[in-house]
Amino acid sequence: MSTTARREREIQELRSKIITQSWKIITEDGWQALSIRKIADAIEYSAPVIYKHFESKEAIIEYFSKEGFNILSHEMSLIPSDKIDSSERLRDIAYTYWRFASTYVQHYRIMFGLGIPPCEAINSSEEMQRTSNYMYSAIEQVLADSANETADKYLKLKTFWSTLHGFIAIALLSDDNIPSAPTATLIDAVEGFIFTLKNNK
């Protein structure tokens, strides 16, 4: 019977309609703004039908998370694994990762649960500024002591902060808590940062 085949096709079509319309909402207003009723509106069906295709709203989000990782791993698979030297390859992977994040921003946000800026103006709040200043002046001092005049202090601050944040954010992704003593990996990264701060011009 071809009716069942057609039915199957219709189901798949509706499913992909859910996906495309969900994505439209996400790109327009961010993944936090995605709602079952908005999707229902866009696909011109009532809300409960969505549950025939996805177990929950989170499952839809998860779909895009997996899609993101698929795209990312695919992009990495395109990097030639032979001919060029191994360091060059690792570099390529790093920049592929960055390029992916900059191209598929919404995917990246979903993949790592990053919200739209938390409290909008927090970035420039006095409270944060003070923290920032401590880091800045410490970096300034190291540069002064090693007679490094050319380095961009503000960029170094950003590097320092980004590095620290990266370790913590990744650690918090899988665990609720993180060890109170800095991990060996963090120490390594910090020492590396200080080293280049002192020796790089």
In the region spanning residues 138 to 197, those forming contacts with its own copies, defined by CB under 8 A, are 138-139, 141-142, 144-145, 152, 155-156, 158-174, 176-180, 182, 184-186, 188-190, 192-197
Distance CA 96, CA 114 (A): 20
CA distances from 93 to 97, 98, 155 (A): 6, 9, 23
7 binds DNA (CB under 7 A): yes
Among 14, 178, 194, 197, binds DNA (CB under 7 A): 14
Cα–Cα nearest to 151, from 136, 166, 161, 165 = 136
Using alpha carbons only, what angle is made at residue 70 by residues 69 and 74, rounded to the nearest 5 degrees? 115
Which positions from 109 through 128 interact with its own copies, judged by CB under 8 A? 109-119, 122-123, 125, 127-128
Select the binding partner of residue 16 from its own copies, DNA, none (C-beta < 5 to 8 A, by kind): none
24 binds DNA (CB under 7 A): no
6 binds DNA (CB under 7 A): yes
Q: Which residues contact 182 (CB under 8 A, 6 or more apart)?
A: 190
155 C-beta neighbours (distance < 10 Å), count = 10
Chain residues in the site for DNA (CB under 7 A): 1, 3-4, 6-7, 11, 14, 34-38, 45-49, 51-52, 56-58
